[in-house]
Amino acid sequence: MADEKSYKYVIVGGGVAGGYAAREFTNQGLKPGELAIISKEPVPPFERPELSKVYIDSGANPTLAKHYVCAGTGGERQYPKWYKDKGIDLILSTEIVKADLASKTLVSDDGQIFKYQTLLIATGSTFVRLSEFGIQEADIKNIFYLREIEDSDELALAMEIYKKGGKTVVIGGGYLGLELSAALRANNHEVTMIFPEPWIMHQLFTAEMASFYEGYYANKGIKIIKGTLATGFNTNSNGEVTEVKLDDGRILEAGMVVVGVGGRPVTSLFKGQVVEEKGGIKTDALFKTSVPNVYALGDVATFPMKIYGEMRRVEHADHARKSAVHAVKAIKAVEEGRTVPDYDYLPYFYSRFFDLSWEFYGDNVGETILFGDNDPKNSKPKFGTYWVKDGRVVGVFLEGGTSEENKAIANVARAQPSVESLDVLSKEGLSFATNLYSNTL
């Protein structure tokens, strides 16, 4: 019979949420031997957004240790020794293949049995493969995805091998497509981006916002082909990709292909055992699932977003960090007969590439007003967008903002102030947010 290990708390998943949950447990007075983190990855929890921003950029001299959690929020980096010193069992390269929530039992791929009193599901998201769209050649050599550290290492090596005059096609026009294209171009690749939407970052950006980034990328030598899909690939005698076939009949030369066409939460272990909603595991405002003593964090949780009064699921490191902290506080409060406030999250997204850096807060619904300088030829562009719904500002985006200005737009998105008119807002521009913020310090 397989050996059995028992813990008071078990976190399944070694990503951002798992690492920040571990830190909060220690802040709350964790005792040695109470907590285990089980991760299929071979490394401790790290700040996953850095995979596409810094880690694959050879010019930045990256090392994974620089990006262990909780480096992303300026906290102490949690090296392997940190977990050992705190009495936390960090169980790596171990995949949970069966979860029985009724008996509070987990089974790993090597037959190890784990028992728990409280379970935290922090399994995150995985990438969507091109094969899921019916593309038969989607797994040939030199087609890369980016989600785990092994993916990043393989991509970084390929970037070194193929960078001399190498032609790379990036499939996808979202976060990964933007950031990976920039990293590839910075490492001397000839880059072509393709995506089916009418403009880049279609889910967040307006057409006016996108035109700036498309122009900026064009000035950097990145070619963008919009409104098209990859339908297949051609290979050489070694089985390596040589060409990308598009649905409009065009064929693009490519020594490498990098794919970023979206992700999906990893919830299959718990199918039929927990209530699901909107693609994730349904939780309350403390991240409790429908099963007692089982919590869901980060990407996998569909939770009540208090500010908008509806259930939402958010894929972002900021939410992964904050939901993990909130859930652990809630768990400890229940044990001690206390209560904690409901989670009150303000949506936040950001990105940085080349010399650009933007932040967005709130909701991108309603009418929009563009302000500032969005000329892609300028060396230091600074512009933004307000989203206005029912006479109130509900979302704000800012490119090139200072720390204080970014705080100001966050404050506006949280406060949702009313505006006299769109014309007035357009004339005031960024000062609308900075004046409001300075008045509420």
pLDDT at 55 over 50: no
Distance CA 13, CA 295 (A): 13
CATH classification at residue 163: 3.50.50.60
Distances (CA, A) of 130 to 151, 236, 268, 367: 16, 20, 20, 34
- Domain shared by 252 and 275, yes or no: no
- Domain shared by 234 and 284, yes or no: no
- Domain shared by 375 and 417, yes or no: yes
Tell me which of 152-156, 206-210, 255-259, 319-323 is least confident: 152-156
Supply φ then ψ for residue 415, to 5 degrees. -75, -25
What pLDDT is attached to residue 71? 81
Strand 356-362 versus strand 392-399 pairing type: antiparallel
Tell me which of 31-40, 60-69, 352-361 is least confident: 60-69
pLDDT at 50 over 70: no
379-416, pLDDT tens digit by residue?
A: 889 999 999 999 999 999 999 999 999 999 999 999 99
User: Own/partner pairs for 349-352, CB < 8 Å, 24+ apart?
Assistant: 349/204, 349/316, 349/318, 350/318, 351/175, 351/178, 351/179, 352/53, 352/179
- Domain shared by 283 and 401, yes or no: no
Show the domain range for 190. 130-261
Q: Give percent above pLDDT 70 in the chain.
A: 91
Mention every residue, 6+ apart, whose C-beta is less than 8 A from residue 391.
418, 419
Provide the mean pLDDT of the chain.
91
- Domain shared by 140 and 257, yes or no: yes
Distances (CA, A) of 176 to 11, 74, 128, 375: 27, 24, 12, 23
Distance CA 350, CA 175 (A): 9
What pLDDT is attached to residue 139? 77
Among 278, 302, 335, the domain boundary falls at 335
Q: Look at the chain and report how many structural domains it folds into.
A: 3
Has residue 348 been placed in a domain? no
Among 335, 363, 381, the domain boundary falls at 335
Q: Which helix (H) or strand (E) holds 348?
A: strand 348-353
- Domain shared by 140 and 242, yes or no: yes
Distance CA 316, CA 319 (A): 6
- pTM given for the model: 0.92
Between 263 and 276, name the one with better pLDDT. 276
Distance CA 421, CA 15 (A): 44
Mention every residue, 6+ apart, whose C-beta is less than 8 A from residue 369.
385, 386, 388, 422, 425, 426
What pLDDT is attached to residue 277? 98
Between 131 and 14, name the one with better pLDDT. 14
Name the band, by pLDDT with cuts 50, 70 and 90, for residue 27.
Answer: very high
- Domain shared by 431 and 367, yes or no: yes
- Domain shared by 143 and 249, yes or no: yes
Among 335, 367, 387, the domain boundary falls at 335
Name the band, by pLDDT with cuts 50, 70 and 90, for residue 128.
Answer: confident
- Domain shared by 40 and 60, yes or no: yes
- Domain shared by 187 and 251, yes or no: yes
Tell me which of 142-151, 323-332, 365-374 is least confident: 142-151
Distance CA 295, CA 122 (A): 9
Comparing CA positions, the residue from 384, 395, 389 lying closest to residue 429 is 384
Phi-psi region of 366 (alpha: psi -120 to 50; beta: other; left: phi over 0): left
Distance CA 34, CA 15 (A): 19
| H-state helical runs in 28-148 | 50, 80-85
316-332, pLDDT tens digit by residue?
A: 999 999 999 999 999 99
CATH classification at residue 417: 3.30.390.30
Mention every residue, 6+ apart, whose C-beta is less than 8 A from residue 350.
318, 357, 358, 359, 360
| H-state helical runs in 201-316 | 207-219
Q: How buried is residue 376: exposed, middle or buried, by Cβ count under 10 Å (0-12/13-18/19+)?
A: middle
